Amino acid sequence: MTAPTRPARSAILTVDDDPGVSRAVARDLRRRYGDRHRVIRAESGRQALDTLREMTLRGELVAVMLADYRMPDMNGIEFLEQAMDLYPSARRVLLTAYADTGAAIDAINLVDLDHYLLKPWDPPEEKLYPVVDSLLDAWAATDHKRVPETKVIGHQWSARSSEVREFLARNQVPYRWYQVDEPEGERLLAAAGADGRTLPVVITTTGDALIAPSDAELADRVGLSTRPSERFYDLAIIGGGPAGLGAAVYGASEGLRTVLIERTATGGQAGQSSRIENYLGFPDGVSGAQLADRARRQATRFGAELITTRDVVGVEVNGSARTVRFADGDAIDAHAVILATGVSYRQLTAPGLDGFTGRGVYYGSALTEATNCAKQDIFIVGGANSAGQAAVFLARTARSVTIVVRAGSLAQSMSHYLIQQIAAIPNISVLTCTEVVEAHGGDHLEKITLRHNGTGEERTVDASYLFAFIGAAPRTDWLDGVVARDERGFVIAGPDLATGTALRDWPLDRQPYHLETNVPGVFVAGDVRCDSGKRVASAVGEGAMAVMLVHRYLERT
């Protein structure tokens, strides 16, 4: 007879930057609750938030969070405020000294604090356990159904397995990862009737097994919206990065029937960032995934329709309508279109690198692979903010992180605050005037050859992981013959149209609006626009501004 499966335990999370205090509170909690709950401890707010994000994706439950008030970088109130987005039903406790009771009282309103405890809490039988007991009882009485989780079985060095994990993570679909050669992975493969030769295998929350599914098939089966519900909209937005999401929020909130079409996942390159620290209103920084998730929820709350895994292959003018055509032959019409497709990372061209994509070489997927990078020597190619943010994030657990840039310094392309952070982290080093010229390995990346462009000196070093954040490729070939672009493929708009020949066939007697392309009613916003700011804030601003110009266009149509 098969033994009944024991239900997974919910977690109690404790956060304190003092290792002694952190161990003490975890010890006392385990003594009382260890048989019924997992007790997890973290020594910083950021470390705790990273842990919570991973737990969210795995569909795990958190019942109680206890955070110390006085922590550097992020205090307990700031941590709890961000943690609420991930686990809104978890009970929240602030650990304070007597002098901080005023702040604790203020936090009752700010983060809906359930309780504050004065340190020390000895004896715990009188000062700690009764409080936690009551909070656990209150949590158990609320609706906190376990988030159903999708299971992914694959190989660490399988490129498609990496892509599937990235797709699910960026679309905020909870999943659990199983290695194909682990006992549980083998058991799941057998239950799914798969032999493990074609990976990955995805088991949905309904128990269906998908063998190496495409993104579109995966999206359909995990509950993402993949087909528009209407044939005609006021506004169609192509691309779901910061510019597209900004346009969706403002378009839908102002009454336009708005649809946003995204090829992979909302957030764009910014959605892959571990932490954005120079975005207005987030003094402690915000992860790209968190920012994208908030924007997505905000847009849908206003009524915007978000469509994923649809590849747009053309925009046409059909009278007053603008037709958006998809790769599968389907199409929708709209009064106006905003192009917000952003840019993609350029591929490294050194010999050997192509064969290791997804098997040690990754383009902008540092978050998904971070757990595998612990105690490893990591190389990051690129000198923009995205590369710096990835370096700071990976340095927390990696043995070393080396940033490789062709330029003479990071100052040419990276924000000053990030350069300062990198300089203060001892296990991050920067190789300037250097590029990767060859990759080596068997079933995965093992070594890379570096060349100094000044001296020509080459050396080969061990490297299991290489993350590339280079260049900005707009990938706008599908606009050929319709929308004017510059020699690099970036879309020309507004006053810039007058400098070339794009206005030659302009059909109206007015000049194009600031973000309007050479096609009336087709606008552009964000990184895909020629000479754009290449920052999250400017992209969001352009998305909002494009909607204002859409209104102006519609009023005169």
Distance (Å, rounded) from C-alpha 332 to C-alpha 322?
8
User: Could you give the number of structural domains in the chain?
Assistant: 4
Query: 209 and 307 share a domain?
Result: no
Query: 227 in a domain, yes or no?
Result: no
Query: 2 in a domain, yes or no?
Result: no
Question: 69-78, 126-135, 408-417, 440-449: which has the minimum mean pLDDT?
Answer: 69-78
Query: 210 and 236 share a domain?
Result: no
Place of tokens 């037709």: 323
Amino acid occupying residue 497: L
Distance (Å, rounded) from C-alpha 459 to C-alpha 171?
40
Nearest one of 384, 450, 453, 459 to 422, comparing CA atoms: 384
Query: 414 in a domain, yes or no?
Result: yes
Query: 239 and 215 share a domain?
Result: no
Query: 126 and 190 share a domain?
Result: no
Instruction: Choose from 159-173, 248-262, 531-545 the range with maximum mean pLDDT.
Output: 248-262
Query: 541 in a domain, yes or no?
Result: yes
Q: What is the pTM of this model?
A: 0.76
Domain end marker among 415, 440, 468: 468
Backbone angles phi, psi at 459, to 5 degrees: -150, 145
Report CA dihedral (122, 124, 127, 130) to the nearest 10 degrees. 180
Query: 365 and 337 share a domain?
Result: no
Per-residue confidence (pLDDT) for residue 3, from 0 to 100: 40
Arithmetic mean of pLDDT, 495-507: 73
Query: 243 and 301 share a domain?
Result: yes
Question: 137-141, 187-191, 511-515, 528-532: which has the minimum mean pLDDT?
Answer: 187-191
Query: 249 and 340 share a domain?
Result: yes
Structure letter (DSSP) for residue 63? E
pLDDT band for position 8 (cuts 50, 70, 90) = low
Contacts of 360 (CB under 8 A, 6+ apart): 157, 441, 444, 445, 446, 463, 464, 465, 466
Give the ranges where 64-182 is alpha helix by DSSP (H).
76-86, 101-110, 124-127, 129-140, 159-170
Nearest one of 318, 322, 294, 296 to 307, comparing CA atoms: 296
Each residue's pLDDT tens digit, 256-311: 999 999 999 999 888 888 788 888 888 877 888 888 988 999 999 999 999 999 99
Residue 346 · residue 554 · CB < 8 Å: no
Per-residue confidence (pLDDT) for residue 2, from 0 to 100: 38
Place of tokens 């706008």: 476
The tokens of 469 are what? 């954040």
Distance (Å, rounded) from C-alpha 107 to C-alpha 85?
16
**6 pLDDT more than 50:** no
Per-residue confidence (pLDDT) for residue 287, from 0 to 100: 82
Arithmetic mean of pLDDT, 432-448: 95
Domain end marker among 140, 163, 194: 140
331-339 and 321-326: which strand pairing? antiparallel
DSSP element (H, E) containing 458: strand 458-462
pLDDT band for position 445 (cuts 50, 70, 90) = very high
Arithmetic mean of pLDDT, 116-127: 85
Residue 332 · residue 238 · CB < 8 Å: no
CATH number of the structural domain spanning residue 324:
3.50.50.60
Q: 360's torsion region: left (phi>0), alpha (psi -120 to 50) or beta?
A: left
Per-residue confidence (pLDDT) for residue 76, from 0 to 100: 87
The tokens of 489 are what? 């493929």
pLDDT band for position 12 (cuts 50, 70, 90) = very high
Query: 305 and 237 share a domain?
Result: yes
Query: 226 in a domain, yes or no?
Result: no
Per-residue confidence (pLDDT) for residue 113, from 0 to 100: 80
Query: 26 and 125 share a domain?
Result: yes
**111 pLDDT more than 70:** no
Query: 263 and 381 share a domain?
Result: no
Domain end marker among 104, 122, 140: 140
Question: 48-62, 345-359, 460-474: which has the minimum mean pLDDT?
Answer: 48-62
Query: 384 and 243 share a domain?
Result: no
Which domain covers residue 206, as residue numbers? 150-221
Nearest one of 503, 506, 527, 362 to 444, comparing CA atoms: 362
Arithmetic mean of pLDDT, 523-544: 94
Query: 162 and 259 share a domain?
Result: no
Query: 491 in a domain, yes or no?
Result: yes
**398 pLDDT more than 50:** yes
Query: 1 in a domain, yes or no?
Result: no
Terminal alpha carbon distance of the chain:
73
High-pLDDT (> 90) share of the chain, %: 59
Each residue's pLDDT tens digit, 332-369: 999 999 999 999 888 898 999 999 999 999 988 667 78
Nearest one of 484, 436, 443, 482 to 461, comparing CA atoms: 436
CATH number of the structural domain spanning residue 136:
3.40.50.2300
Query: 4 in a domain, yes or no?
Result: no
Residue 305 · residue 266 · CB < 8 Å: no
Arithmetic mean of pLDDT, 1-15: 66
